[in-house]
Amino acid sequence: MNQKGRDAKLIIAGNIIKGDKNYVEKTVLGKSTEHIPWIELSELGKHIVGMDACISPIEKNPQHESGVANKVFQYMFFSKPLLVSNCEPQKRLVESVECGLSYDHESAEELAEKIIWLMDNPDKAKEMGENGRKAILNTYNTDVYGKKIIDLYESVLRKRSAKS
């Protein structure tokens, strides 16, 4: 139980950067934190369904500014409210779909505030999760984007044929 009487557990899934591993193991992991180094994709849903919210704490850098991590879409599919760092692509997605909150990737205080906000506003958090799921079913899926890609390729081929 934390200082405000909230009971929470943080599950860290995935690799921890080698330089941070000792710090995390000695200062972060404890009874309210668990580290799962790897989750098979076939098992991912079993983990996500038991969570109240999902975090994508990606550090801002050129690689992460180029797109949205797959895990964000996976969390959305399972109707979970998101808490994402302010990498522009994932921040823009979360805000446009209204499926979560973003925070400054360098501010642990802001991250904590947003976690507490989600805990204090369970109805709004649930609505955010539902918004994410709807976005996956209606927009961010291979049926919708597959058609867009095929249309794009056909347009390129038509233009190429017209030039020949």
Residue 93 resides in a domain: yes
pLDDT by residue (tens digit) across 108-161? 999 999 999 999 999 999 999 999 999 999 999 989 888 989 999 999 999 888
Residue 15 resides in a domain: no
Residue 133 resides in a domain: yes
Are the C-beta atoms of 132 and 82 separated by less than 8 Å?
Answer: yes
* Strand intervals (E) in the chain: 10-13, 33-36, 54-56, 82-85, 100-103
Characterize the bridge pairing of strands 54-56 and 10-13.
unpaired
pLDDT by residue (tens digit) across 7-46? 888 888 887 777 777 777 777 777 788 888 889 999 999 9
pLDDT band at 3 (very low <50, low <70, confident <90, very high): low
CATH at residue 82? 3.40.50.2000
pLDDT given for residue 127 in this prediction: 98
DSSP 8-state class, residue 41: H
Are the C-beta atoms of 91 and 84 separated by less than 8 Å?
Answer: yes
Total domains, the chain: 1
Average pLDDT, integer, range 40-68: 91
- Give residue 144's domain range: 39-163
Residue 58 resides in a domain: yes
pLDDT band at 107 (very low <50, low <70, confident <90, very high): very high
Residue 23 resides in a domain: no
Partner residues linked to 36 by β-bridges: 13
pTM (global) more than 0.85: no
Residue 28 resides in a domain: no
Alpha-carbon span 87 to 66, nearest angstrom: 9
Residue 12 resides in a domain: no
Query: How high does pLDDT run on average in the chain?
Result: 89
